[in-house]
């Protein structure tokens, strides 16, 4: 399983996605922050999902 190298912030703009690792569903207007080392995915979506994703390294 791959892991995040740096920070990742996600804002769900439309739709929903289910994070299989966390067994949690994120829906429109929800925010998630994934720190370095957190498993990356997998996730599923019943329909389309639109996400705004920001990634940046742990250290600048």
Assess if residue 1 is contained within a domain: no
Assess if residue 15 is contained within a domain: yes
16 and 28 Cβ atoms separated by less than 8 Å: yes
Cα dihedral sign for 46, 50, 33, 7? positive
Count of structural domains, the chain: 1
Residue 58: what pLDDT? 66
Assess if residue 31 is contained within a domain: yes
Single pTM value for the model = 0.76
Q: Tell me if residue 48 falls in helix, strand or coil.
A: coil
Sequence-separated (6 or more) residues with CB below 8 Å from residue 38: 3, 4
Residue 6: what pLDDT? 86
pLDDT tens digits for 2-55? Answer: 787 889 999 999 999 999 988 999 999 999 888 888 877 789 999 999 999 999
Residue 59: what pLDDT? 62
Where in the sequence is the domain holding 35, given as residue range(s)? 7-56
Assess if residue 49 is contained within a domain: yes
Assess if residue 45 is contained within a domain: yes
- DSSP 8-state class, residue 39: B
Residue 12: what pLDDT? 97
């Amino acid at each position: 399983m791959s892991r995040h190298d740096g920070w990742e912030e996600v804002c769900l703009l439309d739709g929903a996605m289910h994070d299989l690792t966390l067994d949690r569903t994120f829906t429109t207007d929800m925010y998630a922050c994934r720190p370095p080392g957190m498993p990356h995915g997998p996730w599923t979506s019943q329909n389309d999902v639109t996400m705004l994703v920001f990634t940046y390294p742990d250290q600048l």
